[in-house]
Amino acid sequence: MQLQNIKLWIMAALVTVSPFIHAQSPDTSISLQETRHILSYLAADELKGRGNGRPELLTAARYIGSYFKEIGLSAYGNEASVYIPFQPFGGSNLALRDILMYNGRVVPASEYAFFNVIPGWYPVKELADFTVIQHEGAFTPGILETYKNTEKPLIIWTDQLTPDKKKLPKQFDIPKEGLRNNIILVYATAAPTSIKLTANAKVYSMLQYNVVGMLKGSTRPDEFIILSAHYDHEGVYKTRRKRDSIMNGANDNASGTTALLQLAKHFAQQQNNERTILFCAFSGEELGLLGSEDFSRQVDAEKVIALFNLEMLGVPQLGKQKVFITGQEYSSLPAILSAALKENGLTVIAEPDIEKRLFQRSDNFPFAQKGIPAHTIMASDDDDKCYHEPCDDIKRIDFDNLNHIIKALSKAIQPFTTANADPGRITRPVE
């Protein structure tokens, strides 16, 4: 009897202690090795400064999108993928008209639907570029769920009409994870013997992409926290006389993008977010916040609790383990975040020079204009000697300090994701 009591006591003790042990287990999701790996890729000479309008920016977008999908993030809203296109150089999406030739016949828009989810994948495409599938039965709104994980681009055809005698349903339901590959749905009376998909290549080539991954909240999925960083930079200045003409943008802003990806991985592994988290990698920032401006029109501002923008975190210009938060006078978010960052080993200093208007010059601003507490966390500013210069290179990055900042941010932001922190709204006019 005494031995049985001892066994029961041990079991009770283990039940009591084990949650504590789990909570205290070290977080291995944010590693120095991976921080170094991500930033070194984004700031490598091969990406040629990730210039807007350049193919290397698409390469960076694909890398970020693949990372998001690998850690299990889904597409936002009704988007077909994590890649959300916009046109920074003018023009209208209405000008984007794909033309499908199917067995020598131009297919009317009412008879096919093209879901293009791969950045830079644009026509001309022919039959050999697709796997062909005949679908049994009519197309339904939910058909894409069946084919969402296809390894190759698909042409799916059917000769069956919908119950209301239409060739296509009124709309298609996009799977919550988005689509893995491009899909064309076609109403046709026979299998394709020839395909030619063409479009205005100039329009396609001018598209750029915000890369947005979503981690759905468990209990408050309609409340959003946004983490953001811009991944574009200045490209290559061929007219410069200096030996190095590649504007690698290691600090501005491969460092912020690296932090974004590491935080995405951290929260995806934690799986304890009650609110939905959007991880947004914006392009077009160096052109005047064009990517964030476009995406800010796609979110319901009333549902966004807070936005944390990550910018120039790789060079400790103001001292190791020091950051500042822009626009501290605009909302209560900087004060709440500062207290949490200090508890996790960072010194939060005052914004160095409000006259620089850093709050208005980064991707937080379009969201702040809509009343969202949206602020940028920075470790350096445009007084850094290599700001928008070729010397903004990997060799200047303090990886230990950057990794420390990322870990501190992961802990400081968590109360916002678990609905234990609420900064209210912007408290003064944003100009």
Q: What confidence category does residue 8 fall into, taking pLDDT thresholds of 50, 70 and 90? A: very low
pLDDT tens-digit map of 149-203: 999 999 999 999 999 999 999 999 988 878 989 999 999 999 999 999 987 676 6
Q: Are 183 and 154 spatial neighbours (Cβ–Cβ below 8 Å)?
A: yes
pLDDT tens-digit map of 205-243: 678 899 999 999 999 999 999 999 999 999 998 755 557
Q: What confidence category does residue 91 fall into, taking pLDDT thresholds of 50, 70 and 90? A: low
Q: What is the reported pLDDT for 92? A: 53
What are the boundaries of each domain within the chain? 29-86+208-417, 93-201
Q: Are 188 and 159 spatial neighbours (Cβ–Cβ below 8 Å)?
A: yes
Mean pLDDT, residues 309-318 taken together: 97
Question: Model's pTM, two decimal places?
Answer: 0.86
Q: Are 43 and 393 spatial neighbours (Cβ–Cβ below 8 Å)?
A: yes
User: pLDDT: is 335 or 15 the higher one?
Assistant: 335
Q: Are 249 and 392 spatial neighbours (Cβ–Cβ below 8 Å)?
A: yes
- By percentage, how much of the chain surpasses pLDDT 90? 77
Q: What is the reported pLDDT for 248? A: 96
Residue appearing with tokens 């039965």? 137
Return the half-sphere exposure (C-beta side, CA atoms, 13 A cut-off) of residue 137: 7
Measured distance CA(294)–CA(226) in Å, rounded: 15
Q: What is the reported pLDDT for 14? A: 35
User: pLDDT: is 23 or 161 the higher one?
Assistant: 161
DSSP string, 237-295: -TT--SS--B---IIIIIIHHHHHHHHHHHHHHH---SEEEEEEEE--GGGTSHHHHHH
Q: Is the pLDDT of residue 78 over 90?
A: no
Rg (CA), the chain: 24
CA-closest candidate to residue 405, choices 303, 291, 319, 282: 319
Looking at mean pLDDT, say which of 24-38, 95-109, 296-310 comes out highest. 296-310
Q: What is the reported pLDDT for 146? A: 94
Average model confidence (pLDDT) for the chain? 89
Measured distance CA(356)–CA(317) in Å, rounded: 16
DSSP string, 116-173: --STT--S-EEGGGSEEEEPSS---TTTHHHHTT-SS-EEEEE-PPPTTS-SS-S--P
Q: What confidence category does residue 4 fall into, taking pLDDT thresholds of 50, 70 and 90? A: very low
- How many other C-beta atoms are found inside a 10 Å radius of the C-beta of residue 187? 22
For residue 85, give the DSSP letter. E
Q: Is the pLDDT of residue 204 over 90?
A: no
Fold topology of 29-86+208-417? Aminopeptidase (3.40.630)
Mean pLDDT, residues 128-133 taken together: 96
Q: What is the reported pLDDT for 177? A: 79
Residues composing the chain: 431
